[in-house]
């Protein structure tokens, strides 16, 4: 154990170079470990001592949900791709050859879903603004250069492309002035989401550089911070050397008259059990910030209504606001983790029906798809046809927000593009000429 001067454990990261040794703790044999290492040449792996020592039940690995949350699985990618990469690793092929094959596999995994590069990147004049996305009128996403990693990576992460070392796949910027100028030119923007990666991987002096200039923008109502630090490294807000300074910065944001919202990712109830998490939550809430919780529903990790109702209840007791249940996005190993929309709705419905009204601030299951955030509201029979009921929580076209629409019931559908319109020849977000086959 590594201790700092206050006697508390310092952050220690584990990366792919530690992977084989850690896999042995899960009882995996040589061949299985080789396959997992092959997957890790394509998808990023990073965890830390807190997750490894405090969250994972190694006696239950490799089936333990937190283990599955952070450690690659041998069957996450097509077997033929895994076999080719495993053969290269076994033969100790040159790194360039291994990376070339890994890049070929990555290219098949839709690294930038929902039009991130084609539709979401804003422009100033004719020039794209790096490190920003502007999908919905009110909200700008900013990807600070120093925040494009995490305390640990989730195996299902839809932003995995940020972490594989390919500059062409990464959103990032440290041009704070350009961000401020863009927001001033767009008075419709009332909220900034600082995301990544994980904004809370940055130390207080760095994150202050990005937040302080926003405090003078009167048009902004809220600043949001996307983070999983509460689950993966709660010490960031309690015993890290700059924890107090960070909480002081949060107070400055609130005192400036802006809402500071933590968009905290919790995927399983075990991430909430540590007294460190309770302490971190109390300190953040004590600064005047709010904490809203969200996560996708993930096969083999949290695809159980009891898991979600337990999470929401715990979060409510701790003072957090349950916010979103997402659907696993159409990127990376989606086929491995995706839950069919019909099942995702059942999980949401059963969990939602078993909690009090104060927990029912949560929305879902929601797809962050190309046209917007689409919520699955239910399955019902209309005029003899079984259909999905859906609506837009948020949309590129604001006129679509809140409008119900219907799709033919498909028990195997896992994403919006798997669905076909019901009672119409097209969905409301599709142009009239883009008719779908009957």
pLDDT digits (tens, 9 = 90+) for 128-176: 888 999 999 999 999 999 998 899 999 888 776 776 666 555 677 889 9
Residue 156 sits in the same domain as residue 187: yes
410 inside domain: no
pLDDT, averaged across the chain: 91
* 160 vs 212, residue with greater confidence: 212
Q: How far apart are CA 388 and CA 429, in angstroms?
A: 16
pTM here?
Answer: 0.91
Q: How far apart are CA 366 and CA 329, in angstroms?
A: 10
DSSP code at position 291: E
Residue 103 sits in the same domain as residue 127: no
Last residue within a domain, chosen from 315, 346, 366: 366
432 inside domain: no
User: Domain containing 281 — which CATH number?
Assistant: 3.20.20.70
Last residue within a domain, chosen from 334, 366, 398: 366
Structural domains of the chain, count: 2
Q: Is the peptide bond before 147 cis (omega within 30 degrees of 0)?
A: no
Residue 98 sits in the same domain as residue 128: no
Residue 100 sits in the same domain as residue 128: no
Residue 259 sits in the same domain as residue 140: yes
Last residue within a domain, chosen from 338, 366, 394: 366
Residues of the chain with pLDDT > 70, as a percent, come to 93
The residue range of the domain holding 361 is 123-366
Residue 212 sits in the same domain as residue 286: yes
Residue 138 sits in the same domain as residue 191: yes
Q: Residues of 34-52 as b/e, b for ≥16 C-beta within 10 angstroms?
A: bbbbbbbbbbbbbbbbbbb
The reported pLDDT for the residue numbered 438 is 46
pLDDT at 5 exceeding the cut of 70: no
- Per-residue model confidence as pLDDT tens digits over 23-59: 999 999 999 999 999 999 998 899 999 999 999 999 9
pLDDT band at 111 (very low <50, low <70, confident <90, very high): low
pLDDT at 244 exceeding the cut of 70: yes
Residue 97 sits in the same domain as residue 127: no
Q: How far apart are CA 195 and CA 367, in angstroms?
A: 18
């Amino acid at each position: 154990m590594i201790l700092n001067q206050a006697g508390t454990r310092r952050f220690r990261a584990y990366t792919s170079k530690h992977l084989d040794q850690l896999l042995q703790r899960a009882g995996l044999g040589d061949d299985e470990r080789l396959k997992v290492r092959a997957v890790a040449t394509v998808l990023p792996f990073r965890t830390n001592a807190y997750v490894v020592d405090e969250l994972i039940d190694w006696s239950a690995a490799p089936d333990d949900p937190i283990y599955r949350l952070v450690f690659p699985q041998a069957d996450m990618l097509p077997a033929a791709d895994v076999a080719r990469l495993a053969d290269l690793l076994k033969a100790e092929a040159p790194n360039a050859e291994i990376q070339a094959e890994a890049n070929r596999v990555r290219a098949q995994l839709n690294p930038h879903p929902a039009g991130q590069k084609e539709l979401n990147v804003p422009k100033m004049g004719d020039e794209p603004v790096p490190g920003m996305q502007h999908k919905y009128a009110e909200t700008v996403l900013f990807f600070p250069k120093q925040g494009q990693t995490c305390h640990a990576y989730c195996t299902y992460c839809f932003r995995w492309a940020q972490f594989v070392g390919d500059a062409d796949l990464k959103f990032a910027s440290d041009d704070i002035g350009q961000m401020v100028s863009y927001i001033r030119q767009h008075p419709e923007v009332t909220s900034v989401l600082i995301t990544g990666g994980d904004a809370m991987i940055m130390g207080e002096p760095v994150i202050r550089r990005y937040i302080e200039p926003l405090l003078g923008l009167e048009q902004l109502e809220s600043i949001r911070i996307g983070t999983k630090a509460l689950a993966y490294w709660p010490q960031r807000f309690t015993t890290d050397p700059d924890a107090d300074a960070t909480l002081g910065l949060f107070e400055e944001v609130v005192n400036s008259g802006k809402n500071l919202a933590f968009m905290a990712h919790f995927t399983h109830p075990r991430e909430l059990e540590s007294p460190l998490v309770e302490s971190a939550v109390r300190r953040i809430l004590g600064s005047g910030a709010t904490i809203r919780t969200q996560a996708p529903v993930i096969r083999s990790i949290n695809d159980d209504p009891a898991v979600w109702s337990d999470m929401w209840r715990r979060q409510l007791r701790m003072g957090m606001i349950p916010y979103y249940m997402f659907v696993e996005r159409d990127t990376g190993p989606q086929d491995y983790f995706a839950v069919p929309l019909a099942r995702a709705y059942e999980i949401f419905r059963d969990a939602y029906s078993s909690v009090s009204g104060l927990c029912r601030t949560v929305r879902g299951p929601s797809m962050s798809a190309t046209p917007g955030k689409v919520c699955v509201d239910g399955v019902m029979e209309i005029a003899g046809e079984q259909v999905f009921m859906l609506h837009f929580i948020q949309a590129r076209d604001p006129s679509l927000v809140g409008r119900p629409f219907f799709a033919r019931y498909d028990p195997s559908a896992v994403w919006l593009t798997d669905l076909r319109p019901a009672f119409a020849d097209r969905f409301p977000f599709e142009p009239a000429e883009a008719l779908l086959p009957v």
